[in-house]
Amino acid sequence: MDESSIKDGVLTVPRSAASSAAQMLPDGLVAADVDGLVTSVNRRAEQILDMPADELLGRDIRVVLPLETRNGESWWALTDPWGGLRIRTGHREKLLQLPDGSELLVTARYLRAGRAGPLGAILLALRDAEARRRAEQDHAALISTIAHELRSPLTGVKGFSSTLLRRWDQFSEEQRLTMLEAIDADADRLTRLITDLLDVSRIDTGRLRIHEVPVSTRVVFNRHVERAVAAGHEDVEFSVDVAPGAEEVYADPDRLDQVVANLVENALRHGRGRVALSAEPTDGSTGQGVTISIRDDGEGIPAEQRRAVFSRFWHGPSGSGTGLGLYIVRGVVEAHGGQVDVDDAIEGGAVVRAFFPGEPV
C-alpha cells in the first residue's frame, strides 16, 4: 500500500491519494504525460466532456481534446507545450471550444523538471461554460431592457423640448404646460428606471442597506392610493384595510414605500382596475411581524409560474414593464429578514404578501 513519506524535508503524497483528491475537485481535471498521452481523468471531467475515462486514458490529449479558439484555430498549435518556450508554465483560464461548438473554460499547467526544464506532464482544469453563458445572456437581456425602457421617455423628452425650443411662441400657455408636464413625467420615469437598476446591482452584490423604524401602514397605503388617483385612476378602485395590531410595521420607510409602489403598480398593470391594500399581524417563522398584502382582480398567476415571478425580467401576460419590480420587492423584503410570496386571491386575481418581522434584522 502506498504511504506518505518525508524525504529531504519534502512530503511525498502517494499516487492513489492524489488520484482520490482529484476526484473531489469541483472542476474537471485531465492529466497527460510527456508524450501527451492521457494518464488521469477525474469524474467531473468525464461529466463535462460526456466521455468515460476508458475512452480518454492512454490516448493523445490533442486528439481527445481538440481544443480550438473562438476563431477556429487549434489551441494546441498555438500553445505548443512540447516545442514552445520552456519558461512557459501554463495558461490562465481561457474560453475555448471543441469542434462540435461546445465551450469550455480551460486552465493549463505545464509541469517541468526545474526552471525552464523539459516538459514532464500537462494538467488541464476544465469548467463547463454554461454558467458563464447564462450570465452573458442575463447581461444581454438587461442591456436590451435598459435600451428599450430608456428609449421611450428619452424620445418624449427630446421631442417635446425640441418642439418648445423651436416653436415656443406658437403654443398657448396651456399647451406649453401640457408639454412640460409630459417632460416632467418622462424624467420621473427615467429616474425610477435608473433607481431600479442601481437597486438590482445592490441586491445582487448584497450591498442593499436598510434603516428600520416604526412606520404607519395606513399612511403608506393612503399615500400610494393618492398617487394612483392623481395619475388618473378612480378612488373607488382602491380599498385599504389595516387590522388591529398592524398599524405599524418595522421597516425602512423609503424601502417600504418602494415595495408598496412596485406591488400597486404591478396590481394595476395585471389586474382589471381594482386593488386592495391590507395589513395584518402575523406569526412568521422568525417571530411576530406584519404582513402587507396587495390584491388585484386580474386572471391570477398559474401555479407553475409562481416560482418565477420574483426573478429578474418576469413580465407576466402583459409583457410590459422592466420585469425588475418583483425582483426588487423580494430583495428588499429579504433584506428586512422577511419573505414574500404570491397566491390566488379568494375573490379572484392574485395577491402578493410581504412579511416584515417585528424586530430589526
Q: Determine whether domain 213-357 maps to CATH 3.20.20.10.
A: no
Listed residue (162, 191, 199) closest to 331, CA to CA = 199
Q: Which residues of the chain are in CATH 3.30.565.10 domains?
A: 213-357
Q: Where are the domain boundaries for CATH 3.30.450.20 in the chain?
A: 5-128
pTM value is 0.59
Instruction: Bin 18: left if φ > 0, else alpha if -120 < ψ < 50, else beta.
Output: alpha
CB 34 within 8 A of CB 121: yes
- pLDDT tens for the chain, 361 residues long, are 444 444 444 434 455 545 666 677 778 899 999 999 999 899 988 988 888 989 999 999 999 999 998 888 899 998 889 888 888 888 898 889 888 888 889 999 999 887 878 888 999 999 887 767 777 777 777 777 777 777 888 888 999 999 999 999 999 999 999 999 889 888 888 888 888 888 888 888 888 888 999 999 999 999 999 988 888 888 888 999 999 999 999 999 999 999 999 999 888 888 887 899 999 999 866 678 999 999 998 888 877 777 778 877 666 655 555 678 888 899 999 999 999 999 988 878 899 999 999 876 5
Please count the CA atoms within 13 angstroms of the CA of 43 that sit on its side-chain side.
Answer: 6
- Helix 217-230 to helix 253-270 angle, to the nearest 10 degrees? 50
Fold of 133-205: Helix Hairpins (1.10.287)
Could you count the other beta carbons within 10 Å of the beta carbon of residue 99? 9
Backbone angles phi, psi at 108, to 5 degrees: -110, 145
Assigned CATH for 5-128: 3.30.450.20
From-to residues of CATH 1.10.287.130 in the chain: 133-205
